[in-house]
Structure 1
Amino acid sequence: MPRSLDGLVLAPVADQAPGQVGTRTRFTYHEKGGEIWAEYAGGDVVRGHLVGTRAGDRLDFRYVQLKHDGTTSSGHCVSTVVELPDGRLRLEETWEWESQSGSGTSVVEQVTEHDS
């Protein structure tokens, strides 16, 4: 059984394009009965939320966020949960904006207490 994401804090390993999530963004995940959700903020993002489902090591969710310039945006993401050799979790993500053009891949990893 894959490890739960519940209560974990994850952060991107690299910055995306300006105005999007970046290394200063923190995602706090929750998980219960196949449902996943998270709140996130940091960098250019004032507040963001994601909600979706988990089946094994696959997450499928939609996200919406508010940026410091007052604009909002939303999209869809499918992620694969990977356990790193040191025991932390990584999400390998493929995402696509739905409110604007653009798509890509990204990686977020579990943050340890001294990293946050």
Structure 2
Amino acid sequence: MPSPINLDGQRFAMVSSTASVVDPQSPTTFTYHQDGLLVWGEYTGDTVTEGRFVGSVDGDVVGISFAHALAADGSVVRGSADSRAERAEDGRLRLVESFVVDGVDHESVCIQL
């Protein structure tokens, strides 16, 4: 079944997050791969030394499970997130992600590079 959005080969940079301060000079960047409804990828930068995710697309929502190592102490963070895909005013794709860390709801925004 084809997906209504195509993230294959797309790169995104985090521009804001309620979970941490985003360094605009070296934000976390995400690379997406997609085959039908399946999505996966990797991310690094800012507070993350290395991260991976896998999930699926359902309409304009990308649901993923993730794991990454923190740059500060090497500890591994695991979780899940749902990102709503929408168009920014300049036409680029924006992913607005909802996730939970230590029982606290958070939101981050990434923009297509």
TM-score using structure 1 length:
0.81
Q: Which has the higher contact order (CA 8 A, sep 6+)?
A: 2
CA distance in 2, matches of 1:40, 1:22: 15
Of stretches 31-40 and 76-85 in structure 1, the one that deviates more from structure 2 is: 76-85
* 1:85-96 correspondence runs (5 A): 85-96=89-100
Mind listing any 5+ residue stretches in structure 2 that lack a counterpart? none
The aligned residue for residue 14 of structure 1 is 16
Q: Percent identity?
A: 35
Ranges of 4+ aligned residues in structure 1 off by more than 6 Å: none
Structure 2 residue 30 is the aligned partner of structure 1 residue 44:
no
Match of 2:112 among 103, 110, 114: 110
* Structure 1 alignment gaps of length 5 or more: 112-116
Supply the RMSD in Å over aligned alpha carbons: 2.0
Q: Aligned partners of 1:17 and 1:58: how far apart in 2?
A: 20
Structure with more strand by fraction = 2
TM-score (norm 2): 0.83
**Alpha-carbon offset, residue 21 of structure 1:** 6.6
Pair 1:81 & 2:85 matched: yes
Structure 2 Cα separation of the partners of residues 102 and 22 of structure 1 = 22
Following the alignment from structure 1 to structure 2, what is the Cα–Cα distance between the partners of residues 37 and 109? 17
